[in-house]
């Protein structure tokens, strides 16, 4: 049997269950111009670094040990960064055997980047799953092994999504906390974290149960409560970026349920 090496490709036709094409590229140019594929594609970064983006506005940096999970009909592009090299092992797969993974949302197109782990270890796993390069009898077994590997990819995807959500939310809340105005400029916040204001609103709402403005209003009022213990209402309103005391008092009552002066009396009576 011939071991896998750079430049090799294997085609596995297993009707009616499915089809796989696996290949190993060193110093790959990637796909620098947006392209749409009909089958599913798993692209594993074996060495180097690259950028990724798709037509839905998702962007990511890829390092060795990262994988792209690309879905039919979704325009995408990826390529080495300027001055960098990049190598990949890819598996193109299609057929009825793989459709339930998408239909049942085990794998979803909204999470294209999967942080798998050690590049050398995962490269061996992928090569073992698709089989020896010149074994003519191994097709259906290879499909079964690759299904098992997809189970591990889906588990890694859940870990990746959780870590990415936490990191993204930390970046957004840091931008909001740095805001000194009465209301945050969501366009500026979205630009700072590399997304659009519409995507920011939807994703923030899904992760926190609040809109960015609601979250920021709560932050402002927590700040206000601390300041009201030692400062006049007018001073707090100015410090928190409100146009005037009336606007601040109205916002404070909306969030806290009582006017700021009444809050100060409660604090003084403790």
**pLDDT tier for residue 268 given thresholds of 50, 70 and 90:** low
Provide the mean pLDDT of the chain: 87
Query: What superfamily does domain 9-165 belong to in CATH?
Result: Regulatory protein AraC (2.60.120.280)
Each domain of the chain, given as residue ranges in start order, spans 9-165, 179-270
Q: Tell me the pLDDT tens digit for each residue of 117-166.
A: 899 999 999 999 999 888 777 889 999 999 999 988 888 887 776 777 77
**Phi-psi sector, 147: left (phi>0), alpha (psi -120 to 50), beta:** alpha
Q: Pick the residue with more confidence: 59 or 145?
A: 145
pTM of the predicted model, to two decimals? 0.64
Q: Tell me the pLDDT tens digit for each residue of 241-261.
A: 888 888 888 888 887 888 888
**pLDDT tier for residue 48 given thresholds of 50, 70 and 90:** very high
Give all strands (DSSP E) within 126-225, no chain letters: none
Residues 215 and 173 sit within 8 Å (Cβ to Cβ):
yes
Q: Tell me the pLDDT tens digit for each residue of 163-192.
A: 777 778 888 989 998 887 778 899 999 898
Joined tokens for residue 147: 């299904």
Is 9-165's fold the same as 179-270's? no
Phi, psi of 264 (to 5 degrees): -65, -40
179-270: which CATH architecture?
Orthogonal Bundle (1.10)
- DSSP H or E stretch at residue 162: helix 139-177
């Amino acid at each position: 049997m011939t071991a896998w090496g750079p430049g090799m490709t294997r085609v596995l036709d297993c009707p009616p269950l499915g089809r796989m094409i696996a290949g190993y590229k060193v110093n790959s140019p990637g796909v620098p111009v947006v392209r749409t594929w009909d089958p599913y594609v798993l692209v594993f970064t074996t060495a180097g670094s690259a950028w990724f983006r798709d037509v839905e506005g998702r962007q990511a940096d890829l390092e060795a040990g990262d994988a792209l999970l690309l879905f039919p009909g979704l325009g995408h592009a990826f390529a080495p960064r300027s001055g960098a090299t990049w190598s990949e092992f890819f598996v193109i797969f299609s057929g009825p055997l793989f459709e339930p993974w998408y239909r049942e949302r085990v794998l979803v197109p909204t999470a294209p980047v999967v942080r798998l782990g050690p590049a050398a270890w995962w490269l061996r796993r992928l090569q073992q799953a698709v089989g020896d390069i010149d074994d003519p009898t191994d097709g259906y077994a290879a499909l079964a092994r690759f299904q098992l590997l997809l189970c591990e990819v889906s588990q890694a995807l859940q870990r990746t999504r959780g870590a990415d959500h936490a990191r993204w939310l930390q970046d957004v809340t840091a931008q909001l906390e740095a805001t000194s105005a009465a209301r945050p400029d969501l366009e500026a916040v979205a630009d700072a974290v590399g997304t659009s204001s519409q995507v920011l609103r939807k994703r923030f709402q899904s992760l926190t149960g609040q809109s960015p403005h609601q979250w920021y209003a709560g932050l402002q009022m927590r700040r206000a409560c601390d300041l009201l213990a030692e400062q006049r209402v007018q001073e707090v309103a100015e410090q928190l970026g409100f146009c005037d005391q009336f606007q601040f008092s109205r916002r404070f009552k909306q969030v806290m349920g009582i006017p700021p002066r009444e809050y100060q009396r409660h604090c003084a009576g403790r």
